[in-house]
Structure 1
Amino acid sequence: MMLRHKIIFLAVAPLSLALAAITVVVRQQAAELGLQQRASIEAAYVASKQAELKHYVELALHAIRHLYDTGRSDAAIKNEAQQILADLEFSGDGYFFIYDRNGRNIMHPRQPELVGSEMWDWHDSNGTLTVQLLINRANQGGGFVRYNWQKPSSQTVAPKMGYVDSLPRWGWVVGSGLYLDDIETALAEIDQQVSGHLRHTMLLIAAIAVLSALMVAFAGLLLNFSEQRAADAKLRHLAQRVVRSQEEERARLSRDLHDGISQWLVSIKLQIEAALIRIKGSPEQAVAARATFHKTATQINDVLAEVRRISHALRPAILDDLGLAAAVEHLCCEWRAAAGESNGAELVFESEGELASLTDVTNTVLFRVAQEALTNVARHAQARRVTVRLLGAKTFVMLQVEDDGKGFDLAQVSEHPRRGIGLSNMQERVEAVGGHLSLDSSAAGTKLVAVIPHRPCAAPSHD
């Protein structure tokens, strides 16, 4: 074997083994991350469904509370309450049902053939004694029960989560339920997306492996060691792409959260429907209905404020529109309104120099560092005065966050597996764009300085 062939083999073989090992590790880590993501999303979905369902039942009980509080238990007052609950519906397949304590169905608007049936021993396709579980849970003060039930819109049996509560004086168990088949559909789509991303990643790793092998082979043939510098530059560029992709993902998530707020609006709609029913009643009920409308208007404003807050936290539009200085100043104003009012801390923002010519990556990194630093000050520092400075020089841009708080042990926090995550994130962000992050903390306060080199774009000539 010729010497150049040996060089190529000794260069390509370790590279191939390393890339194969990386491929296995990346695939395994991506699969585990996908499972964790799926579990987190499923838990979030279920928690959202539970909160929504409990709220529905509470609103339904509130709609008949004025009848129940009369102290009457005659058939007329019960029939009126049944009619109100039968008229309430939500989400297409959402309705309310009533059982007595012995398992007899009193009201079921979607399956009237069940009314009057003794269903104590009824069980679903999994053998679950559904009605017994519902009644027992209601007798325990209310709660959630999972079971299978026929879905009205499709006439098929689907998994369902119910919430029940009791009206002891009438001997009623009142409840409702949400079907969970949409969660399974959403999780299936997520699995498909994760699988697609994994395949794409594997193809990308394979392409990188082939390209790297060719480059190493070419370097071995030419014995040109300058490729090492080119590889370092590519790694820095890849790190910048990773930071940019993270921010793009945050922006996409910000848009998605706007659509997810619709569940809150459905709850508000149900309150309005209940108020509309009550406004047709007695003058006292009409007054209560108007109060409900005022409360609903306040809740709508809260929902809008929450949408704006989440969207701004994920990706502030002002950073793209007006630049780093305006975005950090706005961040400081928000900090004063939140943390400043709660603990009386004073925050001073200072900005000088040329900051308009910074790249998007530099803007994003420095904004995230400022955001993380101010979050840490609000949570841990107990500071009375905080100063945030931005300085744009010819060859670098500097961010400084200083407070007079109680400080912390930097070595101890850095070694802690959880408490040092924020500091590590700031360090990695700054180093990924070729910058330097320094941190000094003592009992007199904490000072954080991030410096990132840059070369401003030359102004156009006007010859």
Structure 2
Amino acid sequence: MQLKHKIVTLSVLPLILSVLFICVLVFAQSRKLEEEQARLVESSIMTAKKAELRNYLSLAMSLIAPLYDGGVDDEATRNRALAILSQANFGRDGYFFVYDQHGKNLMHPRQAELVGKELITMTDKNGLPVIKALLNSAREGDGYQLYDWQKPSTGQITGKLAYVVMLDRWGWMLGTGIYIDDVEVATLKSRQEVASGVLTTVLAIASFSLVAVLVIFAGGLMLNVSEHRLADRKLTLLNQRIVNLQEEERSRVSRELHDGISQELVSIKFQYELAAMELARGGEGGLENLRKGTTRLGAAIGEIRRISHDLRPSLLDTLGLSAAIDQQVREFEQRTSIRTQYECGMAATDVGPEVSLTLFRIIQEALANVERHAKATTAIVSITAQQGMIVLRVEDNGVGFDTNAADDSHGIGLRNIRERADHHLGSVTLASVHGRTELQVQIPIVNA
């Protein structure tokens, strides 16, 4: 082989091997990502459904509250309550059911043949004693129970998530449920999206590789130092683009999460409508329902503000880094009851907007790790300027951990911190023993 052919071959073979390795790695990672995303989607949907069930059952309780709280326990009062609940349907397959404490069905608006029957021994297709499990969950558990039940709209047996509570004075178990066949559909869609994204990535890699091979053959020996420098600049721009895309995605999620609280707002709307009906009838529960609705509305507004602040702190853009960190620390202390101290030893003018965002995100990630893993009672966040470097320290008095094991783990928290610091040519030092963990980040001060 001629020398130029050897050089071209030595250039092409590593590229081909690298592309094959990357493709194998992408497929391997995609399987892991597919499972993680599927679990995340399922967990998110189930959490939303649990919140929705709580809201629906709160509405049902408010409907019969005038009767239940009135202190009258005769048969007529209970029958009136059952009649109200039997009419309080929601959606296509949403309804409320009532059993006594011995498993006897007292009201079922969609399956009238069950009313009056003792169903304590009834099991679903998996052998679960449904009514017994519901009673146990209402008495001793969190009120939630998964089982299989006939879906009214289709007549098919499918999974159902129920939420039940005990009305002890009447000896009732009141509950409602949501069919979760859509969870499997959403999970499958998530897997398909990941698979589609992986295929697109592999095709893009293959296309880029083919173009690169053609360029190598066409260019021959036209490889020099300037090409290497150009590649380095492109890699730096790519890293910056990844960081920018991450921030853009956080902003998008921030907007979308505002819509995610719609179920709570719908429940609040029902609360106000109920209050309006009570007031129109001259009932005594109208003002109480208004107060409850107002309280829940305030909580919903506070949740929206908290989520929005976590994703994109407005104080960082308006009042600067120090004010944003101070608010973050105070909110962290209030939320976790971990006594947290913030010490600032530098002027805000010393930090540019990109570095400010990086420092804020590092503190946000570090405090999240303290909350999740440290089991600490106190924490200290300090930021100073020393010898041309911005020095950030986050300390806690938690249980500590093995820093070598943390570096070898697949967690993304510390990796995100290191990547953010690396982007600004900074360094990260981590030290941990039982009773004290310190994260130190140093970033050079760049004068404009």
In structure 1, distance between residues paired with 2:75 and 2:61: 18
Higher mean C-alpha displacement, 224-233 vs 23-32: 224-233
In structure 2, distance between residues paired with 1:329 and 1:382: 21
In the alignment, what sits opposite 2:131? 134
In structure 1, distance between residues paired with 2:394 and 2:7: 56
User: Could you tell me whether the CA contact under 8 Å between 2:430 and 2:440 is conserved in 1?
Assistant: yes
Find out whether 1:428 has 2:423 as its counterpart. Answer: no
In the alignment, what sits opposite 1:461? none
Q: What code does the residue aligned with 2:341 have?
A: A
In the alignment, what sits opposite 1:350? 346
In structure 1, distance between residues paired with 2:204 and 2:55: 47
User: Could you tell me whether the CA contact under 8 Å between 1:151 and 1:157 is conserved in 2?
Assistant: no
User: Could you tell me whether the CA contact under 8 Å between 1:145 and 1:163 is conserved in 2?
Assistant: no
> Unmatched 5+ residue regions in structure 2?
none
For these two proteins, the number of residue pairs brought into alignment is: 436
User: Could you tell me whether the CA contact under 8 Å between 1:82 and 1:107 is conserved in 2?
Assistant: yes
In structure 2, distance between residues paired with 1:121 and 1:438: 60
In the alignment, what sits opposite 1:295? 292
In the alignment, what sits opposite 1:416? 406
Question: Could you list the per-position Cα deviations for residues 9-52 of structure 1 after superposition, in whole angstroms to 9, with x for gaps in the alignment?
Answer: 12201210111111111122023202211112202211332343
In structure 1, distance between residues paired with 2:250 and 2:195: 21
TM-score (norm 1): 0.76
Instruction: Report the RMSD for the aligned CA atoms in angstroms.
Output: 4.2
Compute the displacement of 1:201 (Å).
1.4
Aligned pairs (5 A) from 1:24-423: 24-57=24-57, 59-61=59-61, 63-64=63-64, 67-68=67-68, 74-99=74-99, 105-110=105-110, 114=113, 116=115, 118=117, 120=119, 127=125, 133-138=130-135, 141=139, 143-152=144-153, 159-167=159-167, 172-217=172-217, 220-272=220-272, 275=275, 286=284, 288-319=285-316, 321-322=317-318, 326-336=320-330, 338-339=332-333, 343=339, 345=341, 347-348=343-344, 350-351=346-347, 353=349, 360=354, 362-372=355-365, 382=378, 386-389=381-384, 398-402=389-393, 412-417=402-407, 422-423=413-414
In structure 2, distance between residues paired with 1:430 and 1:243: 12
Compute the displacement of 1:329 (Å).
2.5
> Unmatched 5+ residue regions in structure 1?
457-463
Question: Could you list the per-position Cα deviations for residues 315-368 of structure 1 after superposition, in whole angstroms to 9, with x for gaps in the alignment?
Answer: 23454x54xx71442232332454389637353363254656x5x5x5533332
In structure 1, distance between residues paired with 2:121 and 2:438: 66
Compute the displacement of 1:180 (Å).
1.7
User: Could you tell me whether the CA contact under 8 Å between 2:399 and 2:436 is conserved in 1?
Assistant: no
Say which SS state the counterpart of residue 346 (structure 2) adopts.
strand
**Residues 369 and 115 of structure 1, relative CA distance in 2, 3 Å threshold:** closer
TM-score (norm 2): 0.79
In structure 2, distance between residues paired with 1:54 and 1:306: 17
Compute the displacement of 1:189 (Å).
3.5
Higher mean C-alpha displacement, 65-74 vs 17-26: 65-74
Q: What code does the residue aligned with 2:378 have?
A: Q
**Residues 249 and 445 of structure 1, relative CA distance in 2, 3 Å threshold:** closer
User: Could you tell me whether the CA contact under 8 Å between 2:60 and 2:85 is conserved in 1?
Assistant: yes
Q: What code does the residue aligned with 1:230 have?
A: L
**Residues 455 and 155 of structure 1, relative CA distance in 2, 3 Å threshold:** farther
**Residues 299 and 208 of structure 1, relative CA distance in 2, 3 Å threshold:** same
User: Could you tell me whether the CA contact under 8 Å between 1:437 and 1:451 is conserved in 2?
Assistant: yes
In structure 2, distance between residues paired with 1:56 and 1:336: 34
Q: What code does the residue aligned with 1:436 have?
A: G
**Residues 92 and 348 of structure 1, relative CA distance in 2, 3 Å threshold:** farther
Q: What code does the residue aligned with 2:362 have?
A: V
In structure 2, distance between residues paired with 1:180 and 1:60: 21
Compute the displacement of 1:312 (Å).
1.6
